[in-house]
Amino acid sequence: MDLLEYQAKELFREMGIPVLPSQRIDRPRDLKGLELPYPIVLKSQVYMGGRGRVGGVRFAENTIDAVAAAQTIFNLPIMGEYPKVLLAEAKYDVQQELYLAVALNRSIRRPVLLGSLKGGIDVRAAIDEMKYVVVDQEFSPFFARRLMLKMGLQGALINSVSAIVEKMYRLFLDNDLDLVEINPLGVSPTGEVMALDGKVTVNDDALARHPALAALNPKAPADPLHALDKLTPQTARSPEVVSTLNSDGQIGILCNGAGLTMATMDLVCQSGGKPANFLDIGSETHYSCMPDILGERLENGLEAIAQNKQVRVVLINLVSGTVSCEQIADAIVRFLQHQSRKVRSISEAREDGLVSRVARNPQLVVRLVGSHLAEAKERLSTTQALIIDDLEIAVSQAVSFTKQTKKPT
**Which C-beta is closer to ligand GDP: that of 52 or that of 370?**
52
Counting contacts by CB under 5 A, is residue 45 touching Mn ion?
no
The Cα–Cα gap between 232 and 230 comes to 6
The option from ligand GDP, Mn ion, none interacting with 167 (CB < 5 to 8 A, set by class) reads none
Amino acid found at 322: T
CB of 75 to ligand GDP, least distance (A): 17
**Which C-beta is closer to ligand GDP: that of 93 or that of 348?**
93
Counting contacts by CB under 6 A, is residue 197 touching ligand GDP?
yes
Helical residues (DSSP H) of 276-372, grouped into ranges = 291-306, 325-351
**Which C-beta is closer to Mn ion: that of 50 or that of 370?**
50
Closest CA to 252 of 374, 139, 401, 354: 401
CB of 282 to Mn ion, least distance (A): 14
Q: For the window 151-190, what string marks contact with ligand GDP as x by the rule CB under 6 A?
A: --------------------------------xx------
The Cα–Cα gap between 69 and 186 comes to 23
Length of the chain: 409
The option from ligand GDP, Mn ion, none interacting with 244 (CB < 5 to 8 A, set by class) reads none
The Cα–Cα gap between 2 and 237 comes to 7
Say if CB 45 and CB 86 are below 8 A apart: yes
CA neighbours closer than 13 Å in the CB half-sphere of residue 33: 7
CB of 59 to ligand GDP, least distance (A): 7
Report the sign of the C-alpha dihedral through residues 251, 255, 258, 260, in that order. negative
CB of 176 to ligand GDP, least distance (A): 24
The Cα–Cα gap between 256 and 176 comes to 26
Q: Which of 94, 269, 319, 333 binds ligand GDP (CB under 6 A)?
A: 94
The option from Mn ion, ligand GDP, none interacting with 94 (CB < 5 to 8 A, set by class) reads ligand GDP
CB of 177 to ligand GDP, least distance (A): 18
Say if strands 193-195 and 177-187 run parallel, antiparallel, or are unpaired.
antiparallel
Say if CB 69 and CB 56 are below 8 A apart: no
Name residues contacting ligand GDP, limited to 8-67 (CB under 6 A).
41, 43, 49-52, 57
Q: Which stretch binds Mn ion (CB under 5 A): 21-29, 146-154, 181-189, 274-282?
A: 181-189
373-380 vs 325-351: helix crossing angle, rounded to 10: 10
Count of residues engaged in binding ligand GDP, rule: CB under 6 A: 18
Closest CA to 308 of 226, 227, 248: 248
Helical residues (DSSP H) of 271-313, grouped into ranges = 291-306
**Which C-beta is closer to Mn ion: that of 44 or that of 234?**
44
CB of 226 to Mn ion, least distance (A): 26
The residue with its CB nearest to ligand GDP is 52
Name residues contacting Mn ion, limited to 186-205 (CB under 5 A).
197
Say if CB 199 and CB 5 are below 8 A apart: yes
The three-state secondary structure class of 276 is: strand
Helical residues (DSSP H) of 242-324, grouped into ranges = 258-270, 291-306
Counting contacts by CB under 6 A, is residue 259 touching ligand GDP?
no
Q: Which of 22, 116, 183, 396 binds Mn ion (CB under 5 A)?
A: 183
Q: Which stretch binds Mn ion (CB under 5 A): 175-183, 273-281, 355-363, 374-382?
A: 175-183
Report the interface residues with Mn ion, using CB under 5 A: 183, 197
Residues lying near ligand GDP in the complex (CB under 6 A) are found at 41, 43, 49-52, 57, 89, 91-92, 94, 97, 120-121, 183-184, 196-197
